[in-house]
Copies of this chain bind each other. A is one copy, B any other.
Amino acid sequence: MSDNANSVNMTAPSRGYHHGDLRAALLDAGLDLLKSGSAETLSLREVARRVGVSPTAVYRHFPDKAALLKELCIRGALELAQAQAQAMKAAGGGRKGFAATGGAYIRYAVANPVLFRIMMANMPPGGFFSSDFSDDQVGIQMLRDNIISLVPKEAGEEGVLFGMLMSWAQVHGLSMLMLDGQVPVSEETIKAFESSRLEFRFVPDQPSE
């Protein structure tokens, strides 16, 4: 593009042809678009446009759209984990802290609907458990620690895993139902959730009632 009227270069050393750090810029723009939530589907071309580069420039840095998306997922997951960690700290840890991480999860989801949905749908298999971003205190580890401290000791490792699964499913389900418009998004509901305690226990096979 020779017409440089609308140079969107944010980085100072944006000498014409070579954009300082296109890869990072693309990721930023992508995340930004997903957060704006405007377009249900972010397109490579839109991202490129945003950065001020030709549509196919993206392919010098990402093999395809899925690859870009995958990285954005990880970014989102990190952000989410941060929000949870912060909520935990703000609530002073303990059981209340744990509930707060759940609330943070839901709030993050409804605050970033497009991102969150794409995030979950494009997370690499086993994503949250993967080591891609386990460098820091990340949601899953936090969840694990919390569950361990909440589940009766005799439940064993299996019980811990089941507890993690159920807790996660709980907040995730609530988040998705809100995102999908099946349940009204209401801070009140989130608060109610936070101050509710759920317990689950195996019940031996027995006649109902």
Which residue of B91, B96, B181 is within 8 Å of A126 (Cβ)?
B181
Residues of B within 8 A of A125 (CB): 181
Residues of B within 8 A of A209 (CB): 94-95
* A162 part of interface (Cβ distance < 8 Å): yes
Give the bracket for the number of chain A residues in contact with chain B.
35 or more
B196 touches A201 (CB 8 A): yes
* A5 part of interface (Cβ distance < 8 Å): no
* A17 part of interface (Cβ distance < 8 Å): no
A–B pairs, 25, beta carbons within 8 Å: A123-B181, A125-B181, A126-B181, A127-B181, A127-B182, A162-B196, A166-B170, A166-B198, A168-B173, A169-B169, A169-B171, A169-B174, A169-B183, A170-B170, A172-B176, A172-B177, A176-B176, A195-B202, A195-B205, A196-B201, A197-B202, A197-B203, A198-B198, A198-B199, A199-B200
Which residues of A are in contact with B by a Cβ distance under 8 Å? 91-97, 117, 120-121, 123, 125-129, 162, 165-166, 168-177, 180-183, 189, 192-193, 195-203, 205, 208-209
